[in-house]
Each structure stands twice: as structure tokens, then as C-alpha cells.
Amino acid sequence: MQREPVNHETTGVDESVDYAIQTRDLSLWYGDFQALDNISLDIKKGIITGLIGPSGCGKTTLLRCFNRINERYGNVTTTGEIEILEKNIYDSDVSTGQLRRRVGMVFQRPNPLPISIYENILFGIRVHSPARELSRKQKDELVESALREVKLWDTVKDNLKQRATHLTLEQQQKLCIARLLPLKPEIILMDEPCSALDAEGVERIESLIEGMRGDYTIVIVTHNMAQARRTSDECIFMLLGKIIEFGETSEIFFNPREEQTEMYIQGRYG
């Protein structure tokens, strides 16, 4: 379908701010069910943006729009526009493979491949850049750099040939984040990345995410209100496929504009 370009004069966008993700009139249907309703938002580069709301409100669906992963499911219809780093991702010249290289994703449960830790880190490069020839030294440097960035190197450096599925859940989730890094993504999408972890694991993954602020644009879906408050700079509250409120996290939690937001934050529904 033909999509009109974003007109910043009519959207109220601050052109002095760099945005990583912008949507205009985004709607999505699974068959006859409308999961997203006229979503327009602007997510800033280099910060952590939280997506909160009750189950079934459209958080994960919206997140998966940003790398077009919803298109893997049958009978999905999408209208509107999504600009990722100033490029409409629905343009005919956009490769979903290249898009997903720039926009990485971390899922609720860790999903390491049943191969070695070393080969997990190199997997994305081999899939997205099959013609790229790397020397052993280059491979070793990529693996070490990625594992150091997620604070896993000292733990696994002597066992890089070990199957990744033998790691603890926390280590597996760190590995899944590390697996994205050799591709140099600008945006990382996280769908409840701590939901399978114990309290100590949650704390360490949150610390890792916070340490990535500035180097990456991170969008994180969470049901954990304390986690959203701790980790995110800005927060989006969704309800029934719509954005109810979007702003600085401190304002959302301590001075919400909308009654529905206040009710959700206080645990009165959802």
C-alpha cells in the first residue's frame, strides 16, 4: 500500500531531538481482531523506553512491529508508517534481513542455540553476512568483545566450546544479548527479558541493560512496574491496543495525566 511521508509540521515533533523509532497512524489486525489502534509515537535515540500495560494490551505486538517480525504469523494486516532511523521500514527497498540486523530482539525466555557458546556469538554474522570472511583472530576478537560487553567473558572464557544450553538461565539471557552485538545493532528490542529469572538474575540483567544506555536505543516490554520505574527513561502505557500515556518515566509513575494510567500504576486493574 502507498504510504504518505511523515509531515513533522503536523505531528508536533521536536526536530532538535534525534529519534530512533517513529510511528504514524499504525494499526494492526490479526485476522478480524484489531490489536493496535492508530499508534503514533516518537522514541528517542540512545535511551531506554519502557512499554507497560495489562496482558493483551498490544505491548508485544507493537514491539514486534519494529522489526516486522509480526509478518512471520499468518493473516496479519498492518497499516500506517514506521520510521526506523529515518527510513520507512515498509518501503519496497527495505530488506527484513537487514532491518533485523539493525534492530535486534531479545525474547522472554533465553533461546541459545544448542551449539557452543563461541558459535552462538558468531551465528548472526554467518546468517546476515554469509559472504563475509573472518580470520580466526577476528572471530576470537568478536566473541571476546561481545561476551565482555555483557559481563560474561570471565565466567565462560575457559569453556567457549561448551554447549550454550548448559549455562544458567541468567547466563543464557546474557549470551542472547551478546549474540546480537557483532551485528552492531542500533536498536535492541526486549520482550520481558527477565521474566524467567530469579531476583538476583533480574538485578544483574537490569544492571546490564542500564549499562547499555547511550550505546543502543532499547525498548523493553515489562509487566514489572518496579523494573520499568528503575530501568526506563521514558515509558509508554498501553491499553486495548492504544497508547494512553507516553512521557518521562518519573512523570508516568508519580504524576500521571490520565486516570487510567494512575489506576494501572496503583494496581487497581491489569
pLDDT tens track for 5-23:
444 444 455 677 899 999 9
pLDDT tens track for 158-195:
999 999 999 999 999 999 999 999 999 999 999 999 99
CA distances from 242 to 21, 79, 236, 238, 246 (A): 17, 15, 10, 5, 11
DSSP per residue over 145-174, as a string?
HHHHHTT-HHHHTT-TTSBGGGS-HHHHHH
At 14 the pLDDT is: 66
Q: State the residue for C-alpha cell 538476583.
A: 200
At 191 the pLDDT is: 97
Percentage of the chain beyond pLDDT 70 is 93
pLDDT at 49 > cutoff 70: yes
pLDDT at 243 > cutoff 70: yes
pLDDT at 269 > cutoff 80: no
At 178 the pLDDT is: 96
At 4 the pLDDT is: 42
- The mean pLDDT of the chain is 91
User: How does residue 201 score in pLDDT terms, banded at 50, 70 and 90?
Assistant: very high
Which of 1-5, 118-122, 229-233, 251-255 is the least confident region? 1-5
pLDDT tens track for 61-78:
999 999 999 988 889 999
Q: What is the pTM of this model?
A: 0.91
Q: Is 163 exposed, middle or buried (0-12, 13-18, 19+ CB in 10 A)?
A: middle
3-class secondary structure, 100: helix
pLDDT tens track for 20-33:
999 999 999 999 99
Domains of the chain plus CATH, in order, are: 8-265 (3.40.50.300)
At 76 the pLDDT is: 94
Q: Report how far apart the first and last C-alpha atoms of the chain are (Å, whole number).
A: 36
| Amino acid, single-letter form, for residue 28 | L
Rounded mean pLDDT of 197-212?
Answer: 94
At 139 the pLDDT is: 94
Rounded mean pLDDT of 124-139?
Answer: 82
At 132 the pLDDT is: 67
Q: Which residues contact 265 (CB under 8 A, 6 or more apart)?
A: 225, 252, 253, 256
pLDDT tens track for 79-108:
999 999 889 999 999 999 889 999 999 999
pLDDT at 126 > cutoff 80: yes
Would you tell me how many other CB atoms lie within 10 Å of the CB of residue 65? 25
pLDDT at 235 > cutoff 50: yes
User: How does residue 267 score in pLDDT terms, banded at 50, 70 and 90?
Assistant: confident
What is the crossing angle of helices 169-180 and 199-211, to 10°?
Answer: 20
At 72 the pLDDT is: 87
Contact 98, 120 (CB under 8 A): no
Contact 38, 26 (CB under 8 A): yes
What is the edge-to-edge ordering of all strands in the sheet holding 87-88? 33-44, 19-30, 76-84, 87-88
